[in-house]
Amino acid sequence: MQRKTRFVCVSDTHAHSPADGCFKLPAGDVLIHAGDLTKQGSLSELRRTMDWICKADFEVCMNETGLIVSVVRPVKHVITEMMNFSALFLPGNHDITLDADFYAKHGSSFHWQNTQDPNECIQVVTRSSPSVVFLQHQTAIVRLTRATGPRTIFKIFGSPFSQFKGNWAFGYDSADARALWSQIPHDADIVVTHTPPYSHCDRNADGHPVGCKVLRMALGNVKPLLAVCGHIHESRGYERIRWGSSSPGNGNQHPLELQTTPGTLPPMGSKKQNLIDLTGKKGEGLDNDGFAIRNVPGVLFSLESPSQSILILPSASSQSSASPDDKDEVQSRQNGCINNPMQQEIQSRRRETCLVNAAIMATSWPFKGGKRFNAPIVVDLNLPVWGEVNGG
């Protein structure tokens, strides 16, 4: 059985909030923030941002300064087992204090008059609420448990990394891109990255595509239901991508993009909700029911507490201690092939992805003509009900 689950997507709020009147936060089940919470990651900016995220009445909230998922039920801050949670979010390149290694090298060039303490800044994010979970380039299984909610389940991957001109946090070299993005699980239902993929919602103010080509290839291998990004303010919007087969017969190791259909949203300033309905109720439904739950071990459903909400999975990057099977899985991701029969079945059901650039800031520095703001993008998605799934 499936139920509609409403995702409210934002990114690049840069220390602005609903309290400022810059944007209004619609109601929903899950809040996703795809990074750049702040302008330069100061402690005061992070406190203001976490304040509005923690007060948001969502069962789950996700943020890209790492990845925060926020739920409205207080719980212990434990990130190694299933738990209730209030927010899930990741950082972006402007959230410099949340990248401790970067800040140790370059922090003084940003905050030379008032150096920040990265540990204190990270604690503001991770301890601002007992119901907030912070992820950085990690995967989680999320189960919505609120009695009045949809009670659905999904697998999500979130990463703060991006490429850019200049000296900012969470960057990576092109030579490392393949190893980085091959860590996205093949069965991730939702992928949240700060950076967009190349040629999809990634054109800068000059009209040039600046997204990551390797991420584009990785998304084609995974074919998630929903991909959320930000980073490029001028390319806010959405596209629906229809995938072809990646079988050897088509002469291409990676899936083909058969068609990309740009979406239409209400103009800036409109009072209409910026809604993308993928359920089929008000338009064409998403052609993708390859849910990760088909590949989740049955132990997930034998948990003692039915209120437990999130399972954070081990990182795929720790190959040194990985089993041979795990190493084979990482290698298969890098090669763009899938050997697991269950994952092959999931992939065969994944024929379309909705990609959303959810940038709230509509303009970039130096903000010629002043700052302008977009509305959050709301996505309705059918997901499996966890209480009625038995692993099949």
In the chain the domains, ranked by start, together with CATH numbers, are 2-388 (3.60.21.10)
The predicted pLDDT at position 251 comes to: 45
Q: Please tell me which residue, 100 or 249, carries the higher pLDDT value.
A: 100
pLDDT band at 249 (very low <50, low <70, confident <90, very high): very low
**From the CB of residue 328, how many other CB atoms can be counted at a distance below 10 Å?**
13
The predicted pLDDT at position 16 comes to: 96
> What are residue 62's DSSP bridge partners?
32
Cα–Cα dist 82/98, whole Å: 24
The predicted pLDDT at position 203 comes to: 97
- Please state the pTM of the whole predicted model: 0.88
For the chain, percent of residues with pLDDT exceeding 90: 60
pLDDT band at 378 (very low <50, low <70, confident <90, very high): very high
pLDDT band at 82 (very low <50, low <70, confident <90, very high): very low
**Does the pLDDT at position 306 exceed 80?**
no
pLDDT band at 55 (very low <50, low <70, confident <90, very high): confident
Residue 371 to residues 14, 41, 45, 319, Cα–Cα distance (Å): 12, 19, 18, 45
> What are residue 60's DSSP bridge partners?
30
Write out the two tokens for 278. 């993928």
The predicted pLDDT at position 166 comes to: 82
pLDDT digits (tens, 9 = 90+) for 102-118: 999 999 989 878 899 99
**Does the pLDDT at position 71 exceed 50?**
no
- What's the mean pLDDT in 268-297? 91
Cα–Cα dist 392/384, whole Å: 11
73-77, 261-265, 319-323: the lowest-pLDDT one? 73-77
State the residue for tokens 């992939």: 347
The predicted pLDDT at position 132 comes to: 65
The predicted pLDDT at position 80 comes to: 33
Q: Please tell me which residue, 35 or 314, carries the higher pLDDT value.
A: 35
**Does the pLDDT at position 303 exceed 60?**
no
Residue 162 to residues 52, 65, 115, 274, Cα–Cα distance (Å): 25, 11, 24, 26
Residue 54 to residues 74, 131, 170, 248, 347, Cα–Cα distance (Å): 11, 8, 24, 48, 35
For the chain, percent of residues with pLDDT exceeding 70: 78
Cα–Cα dist 49/57, whole Å: 15
**Does the pLDDT at position 332 exceed 70?**
no
**Whose CA is closest to 162, among 234, 68, 94, 61?**
94
Cβ(352)–Cβ(381) below 8 Å: no
- What's the mean pLDDT in 1-26? 95
Instruction: Tally the residues of the chain.
Output: 392
- What's the mean pLDDT in 228-234? 97
61-75, 133-147, 169-183: the lowest-pLDDT one? 61-75
